[in-house]
Amino acid sequence: MRSPPRPRRPVPARLVAAAVLLSALAGGAAAGAAIAGDGYGRGRRLYMRNKVLEMFYHAYDNYMTYAFPHDELKPLTKSFTDSLSELGNLNLEHLPNDYNGSALTLVESLSSLVVLGNLTEFERGVLWLSENLTFDVDARINLFECNIRLLGGLISGHILAKEHISHLKDGPYQDQLLHLAENLGSRFLPAFETPTGLPYAWINLKPCNYFFQYGVMENETTETSTSGCGSLILEMGALSRLTGDSRYEAAALRALRKLWSMRSSLNLVGTTLDVLTGKWIEYSSGIGAGVDSFYEYLIKAYVLFGSEEYWDMFHSAYLAVQKYFRHGPWYHEADMRTGEATHWQLTSLQAFWPGLQTLLGDVAAANISHREFYNVWQRFGVLPERYLLDFGMLHPTEKYYPLRPEFAESTFYLYQATKGDYRLFFIVQI
Ligand SMILES: *[C@@H]1O[C@H](CO)[C@@H](O)[C@H](O)[C@H]1NC(C)=O
Ligand SMILES: *[C@@H]1O[C@H](CO)[C@@H](O)[C@H](O)[C@H]1NC(C)=O
Ligand SMILES: *[C@@H]1O[C@H](CO)[C@@H](O)[C@H](O)[C@H]1NC(C)=O
Ligand SMILES: *[C@@H]1O[C@H](CO)[C@@H](O)[C@H](O)[C@H]1NC(C)=O
Ligand SMILES: *[C@@H]1O[C@H](CO)[C@@H](O)[C@H](O)[C@H]1NC(C)=O
């Protein structure tokens, strides 16, 4: 098997790359800024650019009108959810009556506002968050989601604010987003206090008190996923580099190393595991749900931090995926112990893979896998959440599309790498 080419060494301004990476992780809206010499006529590019702006402001303004400061807009009823806390809170009565959420959509929009050039609105958001955002709530949250969305959003917002500080009038930016990120990150740390260093999947944002009521909650599940343990290093590593407090990076790296030590002799990992025993629960895995961002974070951590250790892990893991999961242009699931195929299902989440292959420099492989997702998109109008591959026939079994950014990100990367006729613009044509 051909060895994947090593990506170029990291660019000097690594933390600027962090902002771009983190904003790409946080959503696909950044794709609108990519207008370059691509052979498209100027008129067409302007049309597409305006279309992206229109779509962004439609979503953003309606969120601000109907849902802010709660987490997400429910567009049909013009109401809201506090998704970050509701996700894990079976007992919603635990949330204070006047709980306002974490303004999650605003946090996630900060990087888009900068990319789209709206520094006034960016600044307004930053100041609002600085004064009003609190994490001292009795809410059980999912560590992975809170990390990639809230912590990642705050850190990329901070890096972008520093970049544009001369434009933020009267210098009101005093690292407020970084202080918020640090406050949040410190609430994550108790989740890592396990014999293995693998973090619990859920944690209460209120720090643990004498009665252990908060922090890791009583009878908390010890089951978590590979992505739950392996997708923390970008945000927590960046937080440590920015604050000088090494605890965040150390906790995430210890968890990642432990996870990697649990791989099989085929260099495959499973999907779910127990954080107390460090034993696998589900041995079957693929590149989709429960595992996907483990691969993504390994290569992005190498790009961001430049450490060979991430490259070595990624390199071995990538070769194993190509060897045991790949079937023509598709990827199925397999048992980590034997490499035998288990499930022939494809999921919308897998659409990040061509982007990862592009980042790696394997543009030819990315082109091939991207084309398959593109064909599915064309056939159904969107990517179904899950579909079964049966003798070359696709049967969607979960027929919904929760506006996932994976395929947009892959398309964006591939377009940036080739400047070709990449099917970039179909996304805004829906
Ligand atoms: C929610 O917002 C209201 C109005 O700004 C404020 O009075 C209240 O303290 C907030 N609740 C929490 C739990 O922060
Ligand atoms: C920035 O966003 C706000 C809120 O949508 C809008 O009112 C304002 O016109 C925008 N400014 C620019 C320069 O686009
Ligand atoms: C904090 O929230 C309150 C209530 O929404 C608002 O009136 C105030 O302006 C906010 N602070 C900032 C700095 O935006
Ligand atoms: C935790 O589990 C024990 C034993 O099953 C039970 O007695 C206790 O009530 C549980 N605590 C909570 C908060 O559910
Ligand atoms: C991608 O594949 C198409 C054939 O489907 C080919 O025409 C094109 O040159 C390929 N592009 C790259 C960058 O490999």
Q: Is the model's pLDDT at 18 over the cut of 50?
A: no
**pLDDT class of 422 with cuts at 50, 70, 90:** low
Question: Quick check: is 74 in a domain?
Answer: no
Could you tell me if 351 and 413 lie in one domain?
yes
DSSP 176: H
Q: Ligand 1: does its nearest atom lie under 6 Å from the Cβ of 96? A: yes
Identified catalytic residue from 145, 175, 223, 274: 145
Could you tell me if 273 and 177 lie in one domain?
yes
What was the pLDDT predicted at 3?
A: 47
Among 275-289, 302-316, 389-403, where is mean pLDDT lowest? 389-403
> What's the rounded mean pLDDT across residues 394-406?
90
Could you tell me if 305 and 351 lie in one domain?
no
* CA atoms of 209 and 206, how far apart (whole Å): 8
* Closest listed residue to residue 146, CA positions, set 200, 226, 98, 92: 200
Q: Ligand 5: does its nearest atom lie under 6 Å from the Cβ of 363? A: yes
- 136-190: per-residue pLDDT in tens? 998 999 999 999 999 999 999 999 999 887 777 667 789 999 999 999 999 999 9
Pocket test for ligand 3, best of 121, 131, 133 (most atoms within 8 A of CB): 131
| Minimal-distance CA residue to ligand 1 atom 2 | 100
Could you tell me if 270 and 210 lie in one domain?
yes
Q: Is the model's pLDDT at 14 over the cut of 50?
A: no
Closest atom of ligand 3 to CA, residue 130: 13
> What's the rounded mean pLDDT across residues 381-387?
90
Q: Is the model's pLDDT at 16 over the cut of 80?
A: no
H/E element holding 249?
helix 247-261
169 compared with 115, residue with greater pLDDT: 115
Could you tell me if 205 and 304 lie in one domain?
yes
Active site residue 170: no
Pocket test for ligand 1, best of 80, 92, 100 (most atoms within 8 A of CB): 100
Q: Are 104 and 85 a contacting pair, CB within 8 Å?
A: no
Q: Ligand 4: does its nearest atom lie under 6 Å from the Cβ of 308? A: no
Domain count, the chain: 2
* Closest listed residue to residue 222, CA positions, set 196, 251, 257: 196
Question: Quick check: is 330 in a domain?
Answer: no
* Closest listed residue to residue 7, CA positions, set 286, 328, 399, 413: 413
* CA atoms of 143 and 105, how far apart (whole Å): 17
Question: Quick check: is 19 in a domain?
Answer: no
**Residue 125, amino acid:** G
Q: Ligand 2: does its nearest atom lie under 6 Å from the Cβ of 335? A: no
In the three-class reduction of DSSP (H, G, I as helix; E, B as strand; rest coil), residue 65 is classed as helix
Range of the domain at 361: 344-430
Most confident of 97-106, 232-241, 324-333, 361-370: 232-241
Q: Is the model's pLDDT at 1 over the cut of 50?
A: no
Instruction: Establish how many alpha carbons lie within 13 A of residue 233's alpha carbon, considering only the half-sphere containing its beta carbon.
Output: 28
Question: Quick check: is 382 in a domain?
Answer: yes
Active site residue 385: yes
Q: Is the model's pLDDT at 351 over the cut of 70?
A: yes
Active site residue 406: yes
Closest atom of ligand 2 to CA, residue 57: 5
* Closest listed residue to residue 253, CA positions, set 222, 303, 319, 298: 298
In the three-class reduction of DSSP (H, G, I as helix; E, B as strand; rest coil), residue 220 is classed as coil
Distance from Cα 103 to the centre of ligand 1, integer Å: 12
Q: Ligand 1: does its nearest atom lie under 6 Å from the Cβ of 99? A: yes
Q: Are 425 and 43 a contacting pair, CB within 8 Å?
A: no
Q: What are phi and psi of 201, to 5 degrees?
A: -75, -25
Among 7-11, 224-228, 415-419, where is mean pLDDT lowest? 7-11
Q: Are 180 and 102 a contacting pair, CB within 8 Å?
A: no
Looking at all shown ligands, the one closest to residue 371's CA atom is 5
Tokens 């601000």, residue? 64
Mean pLDDT of the chain: 87
* Closest listed residue to residue 5, CA positions, set 290, 355, 247, 359: 359
Closest atom of ligand 5 to CA, residue 418: 13
Strands 345-347 and 326-327, by their bridges, are unpaired
What was the pLDDT predicted at 163?
A: 87
Q: Is the model's pLDDT at 58 over the cut of 60?
A: yes
DSSP 30: G
Closest atom of ligand 1 to CA, residue 100: 1
Q: Is the model's pLDDT at 312 over the cut of 80?
A: yes
* CA atoms of 324 and 1, how far apart (whole Å): 12
Q: Ligand 2: does its nearest atom lie under 6 Å from the Cβ of 57? A: yes
Last residue of a domain, one of 289, 323, 357: 323
Could you tell me if 350 and 247 lie in one domain?
no
Identified catalytic residue from 163, 282, 309, 385: 385
Could you tell me if 210 and 319 lie in one domain?
yes
Could you tell me if 263 and 348 lie in one domain?
no
Among 181-185, 234-238, 295-299, 390-394, where is mean pLDDT lowest? 390-394
Identified catalytic residue from 182, 292, 296, 372: 292
The pTM of the full predicted model, rounded to 2 decimals, is: 0.88
What was the pLDDT predicted at 392?
A: 67
**pLDDT class of 15 with cuts at 50, 70, 90:** very low
Could you tell me if 212 and 278 lie in one domain?
yes
Q: Is the model's pLDDT at 21 over the cut of 70?
A: no
Active site residue 193: no
Could you tell me if 155 and 291 lie in one domain?
yes
